[in-house]
A and B are shown apart, each in its own frame.
Chain A
Amino acid sequence: MWFLPSFLTPTFLVLGLLAISLPVLFHFFRRTPRGEVRFSSLMFLLASPPRLTRRSRVDNWLLLILRGLILVLIALAFGRIFFRQQDFLDISGLPSRRVAIVVDTSASMFRDRLWQQARQEFEKVVDELGPNDEVAVFAFDSELRTLVGFSADETAEQVSRRELVRGCLASLQPRWRPTNLGEALIQASEQLESEFEGDSADQITEFRLVLISDFQEGSDIRALRSFEWPEEIPVDVITVESDSTDNATLSLLENRKGLSADASSRVKVTNAAESRQTRFELRWFDDGGKTAEVAGVAVVPPGQSRVVRVKVPDQPRSGLELSGDDHDFDNRFFLAYPEQVPRKVQFIGEEESVRNQLLFYLRKASAAVVGRRLTFSDESAFEEGNGTDILFVAGTLGKDQAAAVRRFCEAGGTVCIVATTEKMSPAISTILAEPVEMQEVPDLDYLLLSEIDFSNRLFSPFSDPKFSNFSNIQFWKQRKVESDTLKPIARFDNGNLAIGFTAIGEGRCYLFSSGWHPADSQFARSSKFVGVMMSMMLDRLERENLNLSLGEPVEFGTFVKGKSAILVTPEGDEIVLDAIDEPLQAIEIDHPGIYQLSSGAQMKPLAFNLPASESQTDTMDRELLEQERVPLGTITTAAEKVEKERQRRDRELESRQKLWRWMLILALGILFLETWLSGYLARRSSREASAAQDS
């Protein structure tokens, strides 16, 4: 039984009913005066209102009603009228969906009340889901963690499972990790699809992924670029936002102490784009977290970064703190200093004047490098075990001395032979343990360096084409060295070896076939000299970076030797690390600070800081996700679902009944009637008019 008239498109009905007023309006339009003249401007004219001869009135009520009726019928047809039985849709009758809720637990969620907001949003989403919806909850920061999986659905009862979902965030807190949003979304989408099997598979009509996050700009979504996002999974982004947008962060560009008391470190201070604060103070803090007086002030406009110099304190400090912004979570930068061991440099060789000249330029070059501790020994004879790290051989040597140099190198020392005279060939032969021929090259105009191996550590700082021009360094004197063991790093343009290298035991041995002092060349006066010599003299370990980022895999094996190590947290807890020679995810490191890594007698401080990206707290543009072809959508509540379902059924009902056709046919019939009637009335009035005229 059909009752309850309904309309599929009520807008057309309303418009159609409004149109009924048109015949009445037309009726009155007829009364407006004719003969309109369009004129450019009435600014020079005055009004003289027209006199109307007749009062406006309705002539024929029947015609008006018929015309109105036609419009009503057309309006009903366009309104797509249909009749339906009383039918209440039940929420439980809805088709089920699969919904994955992904909650951000990265460090930026520590801000303000973001985490509370996220939990509220989460509860709201859970409340609005239908009883048939399958829900899984994930948390993510640098990795995705499953809190409640889809598989829990099969075992648990619906009600208890919903309680499980609701309570899963209760004990959860954000972690000190960066945001890898791209990877988290990919993994969540894979879980949505991969566990899609079993009895309920047929009933599931749609997939949804709800992302609850602060959606900060520093989120890493690069992983999405190489992933083809499944079109059937739209992502509903629910952004939690902090009231305050003021956030700045800092990072140290240089982590080594300077040589002198007035040495300073360069600190990069970055301000968020929507920040209102521009002035920030920097203070050093010690192990206990106590801050000292202001060490520097940075004035940074919003959205920019500035590098400021901060005076390095006399006592080593744990790090630098920034103040002046609203969010504290990223305001501390912890710092671990590599152990500074002064490196001893000794020059030996019997020709004193040459030796002193070479040493003079080397001292000058090393003074130019801040933060390197090199001590120069004045002793002219080499004694094994005198603590020398780098040994320069710049003249003839006795046999014993040469043998001692060889042993020094084999034990791990760095030896640099500067061939200043051809008489050095016996000593060089002893050091390299092969017969080496040397010969003074006579009557040189000048030579230039060529065939430079820029992959070698000596020249690698100059590998950029901007700096690789060595053509302005001229060499006047050179010794031709013929050796099989020496690998050429650079040659002269006449093809002779300029700089050679060989590894002896655990040590390294370099050979320069020309000196850098003015008697031989102008190499010492070139700016390239400092770079080349420092690359040779600095130890690899001294350049290592002890400042690490949280959430990145750490190879502890690069810092200490051995199979296992102990990591002591800032609170004093010990973490035993096994198999440290393999890459290890820094899972146990859950907050920033200075940790001590020890293995046997070795001990190294390691500073863990939040990655700089996590401090980019401006809200990211949602379009960035769409650019990676991730469709965005809004999750519908159960009530909206019911409404949609009702509309779908209405459409089906209407298409079955098709009452609009009957309405149109009726309207056409009345139209014919109206035409006939109006024609008849017009004829009658004209007849009457002519009769009146005749009479």
Chain B
Amino acid sequence: MATTAQTGETARYRQKRVDPETLMRIRNLQLRARVVVEGFYNGLHRSPFHGFSAQFSEYRQYVRGDDLRYVDWKLYARTDRHYIKRYEDETNLRCYLLVDRSQSMDFGSLSYRKSDYATTLAATLAYFLNRQRDAVGLLTFHESLGEYVPARYRTGHFHRLLVGLETPLSGKRTDLVAPIQQIAEVTRRRSLVVLISDLLADPRELQKSFGSLRSCGHEIIVFQIADPAELDFDFQNPALFRDLESGKQLYVDPAAARRQYLEGFARHDQTIRQACEAHGIDRIKVSTEQPLEDALFDFLQLRQATHASARSHRRNSATVAEGRA
């Protein structure tokens, strides 16, 4: 029964999605993010997702050594007992958005480029998380590191993130190692790291850096952005193809090169998938013609699933402990 209701909700939300073509016509990045998130909330009216943050998980009897800041004094007044208010982990979520600003993101076969889509996605996630009082940080990268905004929740911080997102594209290649290592260095606390990139770089690099980040206990979600033309390679006429990053030029006849391209792309995709699976990283493949709400929906579903598994894991370990006792 619950499943049916949920499917109905999802269908209703899918009807209300905004076409990215229309969305990208809005020039203001903040407004774009707002349109997506507000629309998403309206679509999910009475959905199981709302308000999953800011929920405290339990009251616990005070034991010596607990931080006094968390003692619930109102409860003490009523019951004459000291209790600790425990919040769900989500309220203290720190999220770092790693956004690829390399030249390869400058490509777009639609009326907008991959980079427009990626920044809108990043802004959407930042707006969404900011709305639920989570700390959001940003690191842009190309061949080297770009803007860095530490994860905070405070007035005006969202604006800083937007400014960081709107820096021009640059770089001759995409370095996937440096930004991830940088994040691993600056964040001591467990954080959620969201990588938004086309991942058009050597996938072996990715494997290395994922490992170091996971070993620090961070949770990683990868949004792999691709243009429809990159996925299908449906060019018609032979032409001189220019690499946006290296500037290298090649004469290519698409009719002849298509099969070979698709094979190469699939191999690359396979390697990335293996790298993600090996480290238990969730990857969301997004085509730029897909509505942004889909990406947000997938993101939330992943978070929800992670939480459910974490909770059940906690509960199981508690049961085991009780059994032993």
Contacts and interface: CB of A to CB of B under 8 A. Distances in A.
A37 B260 contact: no
A50 interface: yes
Interface stretch (B23-31, B72-80, B233-241): B233-241
Contacts of B134: none
Interface string A10-46: 0000000000000000000000010111111111111
A541 B242 CA distance: 92
A42 B245 CA distance: 9
A39 B108 CA distance: 8
B204 to A, nearest CB: 13
B239 A48 contact: no
Contacts of A50: 240, 251
A45 B200 contact: no
Nearest to B263: A44
Interface residues of B, number: 32
Contacts of B241: 36-39, 42, 45
Interface in B211-249: 227, 230, 235, 237, 239-246, 248-249
Contacts of A198: none
B41 interface: no
B261 interface: yes
Contacts of A46: 250, 257, 260
Contacts of A39: 107, 241-244
A40 B268 contact: no
Given A43-B264, A46-B257, A38 B250 contact: no
A47 interface: yes
A45 B244 contact: no
B107 A36 contact: no
A44 B268 contact: yes
B245 A41 contact: yes
Most A Cβ at <10 Å: residue of B239, B246, B248, B265: B239
A383 B37 CA distance: 102
A94 to B, nearest CB: 52
Nearest to A37: B239
A38 B251 CA distance: 12
A42 B252 CA distance: 10
A45 B239 CA distance: 13
Most B Cβ at <10 Å: residue of A37, A38, A50: A37
B175 interface: no
Given A43-B200, A44-B268, A47-B251, A38 B242 contact: yes
B320 interface: no
Contacts of B230: 40
Interface string B259-276: 011001100100000000
B101 interface: no
B140 interface: no
Contacts of B107: 38-40
Interface in B58-76: none
B104 A45 contact: no
A202 B114 CA distance: 72
Contact residues of A: prevailing secondary structure: loop
A117 to B, nearest CB: 45
B256 A48 contact: yes
B253 interface: yes
A342 interface: no
Contacts of A49: 251
B25 to A, nearest CB: 22
A48 B243 contact: no
Contacts of A35: 237, 239-240
Interface string A45-61: 11111100000000000
Contacts of B198: 40
A37 B253 contact: no
A48 B250 contact: yes
A37 B268 contact: no
Contacts of B235: 37
Contact of A44 (B104, B240, B265): B265
A42 B265 CA distance: 11
A37 B243 contact: no
B250 A42 contact: yes
Interface in B93-107: 104-107
A40 B240 contact: no
Given A40-B200, A42-B243, A33 B261 contact: no
Contacts of A40: 104-107, 114, 198, 200, 227, 230, 243-245
Nearest to B229: A39
Contact of B251 (A33, A41, A44): A33
Contact of A41 (B104, B239, B252, B257): B104
Interface in A193-245: none
A686 B230 CA distance: 43
Contacts of B250: 42, 45-48
B9 to A, nearest CB: 36
26 contacts: A35-B237, A35-B239, A36-B239, A36-B240, A36-B241, A36-B242, A36-B249, A37-B239, A37-B240, A37-B241, A38-B241, A39-B107, A39-B242, A39-B244, A40-B104, A40-B106, A40-B230, A41-B245, A44-B264, A44-B265, A45-B250, A45-B252, A48-B251, A48-B252, A48-B257, A49-B251
The 10 closest A-B pairs by CB, nearest first: A44-B264, A40-B107, A40-B104, A41-B200, A50-B251, A42-B243, A35-B239, A37-B239, A47-B250, A36-B240
Given A38-B107, A42-B250, A50-B251, 4 more contacts: A37-B239, A40-B107, A43-B200, A46-B257
Interface of B: 104-107, 114, 198, 200, 227, 230, 235, 237, 239-246, 248-253, 256-257, 260-261, 264-265, 268
